[in-house]
């Protein structure tokens, strides 16, 4: 369904790399290539303002009392703030953003990489075991297919929002 979105190894220097080395944890990395130059600010803003992610933002606003706006997503992408809805910035550089939610067990990671006349867009996640445990458990295992589908759908939505 999302043929242009591939799974990939984390690139060298990925801010998410630390979490790939945690025993019993989980990381993933999705990548797609789009024509033209896309900066991190535009990618992050597009990702968090897609209709699909707006649904997640609505759930967070209602269930967790963590509302957010499109303008705040733009500010986050541009580096004008260090939090957005239920997330805070854990790491940032010119090409990457690593976000950590309030629960601190998951991470969301974004990266852009120039590739000739195109840009590679990366999106990844990490989940760390609770309390230093050795694994994430049966519930996580059961939901891994949903997570894969949703991650690909989010990246595809961001690509559409960018007009690529």
Digit-by-digit pLDDT tens for the chain (164 residues) are 556 999 999 999 999 999 999 888 889 999 999 999 999 999 999 999 999 999 999 999 999 899 999 999 999 999 999 999 999 999 999 999 999 987 678 899 999 999 999 999 999 999 887 765 565 555 556 567 788 999 999 999 999 999 86
Helix orientation angle between 40-48 and 51-63, rounded to the nearest 10 degrees: 60
Residues 6+ apart with CB under 8 A from 146: none
Residue 73 to residue 112: CA distance in whole angstroms: 17
Is residue 5 classed as helix, strand or coil in its secondary structure? coil
DSSP bridge pairs for 147: none
For the question of whether the overall pTM of this predicted structure is more than 0.85, the answer is yes
Fold assignment, 6-162: Alpha-D-Glucose-1,6-Bisphosphate; Chain A, domain 4 (3.30.530)
């Amino acid at each position: 369904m999302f043929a242009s979105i591939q799974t990939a190894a984390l690139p060298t220097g990925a801010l998410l790399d630390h979490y790939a080395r945690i025993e019993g944890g989980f990381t993933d990395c999705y990548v797609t290539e789009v024509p033209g130059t896309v900066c991190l600010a535009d990618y992050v803003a597009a990702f968090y303002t897609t209709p699909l992610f707006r649904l997640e933002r609505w759930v967070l606003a209602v269930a967790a009392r963590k509302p957010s706006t499109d303008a705040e997503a733009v500010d986050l992408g541009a580096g004008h703030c260090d939090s957005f809805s239920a997330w805070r910035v854990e790491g940032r550089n010119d090409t990457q953003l690593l976000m950590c939610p309030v629960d601190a067990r998951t991470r969301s990671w974004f990266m852009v990489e120039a590739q000739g006349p195109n840009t590679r867009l990366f999106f990844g996640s990490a989940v760390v075991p609770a309390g230093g445990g050795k694994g994430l458990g049966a519930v996580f295992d059961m939901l891994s297919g949903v997570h894969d589908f949703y991650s690909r759908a989010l990246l595809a939505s961001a690509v559409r929002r960018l007009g690529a």
